Amino acid sequence: MLGILALAIAPQPQPPEPADAVVTVVGKRFDQTRGIIKQNVVTGRSTCTVTRSRGDAAIDQGVCEVGMACMGRTRKNASFKRCLAEGRERFLDNYFAAKERARATN
């Protein structure tokens, strides 16, 4: 009888976080990451420097890639905002696909 009571009182394992919650957290980290994109006027080469990171190198790289892909568009233009939104969605899809592949190989 005491064993049954101990099981009932013992902390139960937490269920895994719902996928939507994980996507939301990664999306927020992506949104909170900041970078500066510069273009060399002589060579035309663009570089991105992360100025505010959330500690995930893949997110930092994704923010830079999306920002560089949307360069050349006016920030207030709807096409710029659409480019960022589409790039963010592609990044999240690729981010979780890579995590899933890594999990499958382990």
Per residue in 4-30, pLDDT (tens digit) is 434 444 444 554 555 667 778 899 999
Question: Could you report how far apart the first and last alpha carbons of the chain are, in Å?
Answer: 41
Give pLDDT, residue 48.
Answer: 94
- Report how far residue 35's alpha carbon sits from residue 64's, in angstroms, rounded to the nearest whole number: 7
Give pLDDT, residue 105.
Answer: 86
Cα–Cα distances in angstroms (integers) from residue 14 to residues 10, 11, 23, 27, in the given order: 12, 9, 19, 23
Query: For the chain, which ranges sit under pLDDT 70?
Result: 1-20
Give pLDDT, residue 5.
Answer: 39
Give pLDDT, residue 77.
Answer: 82
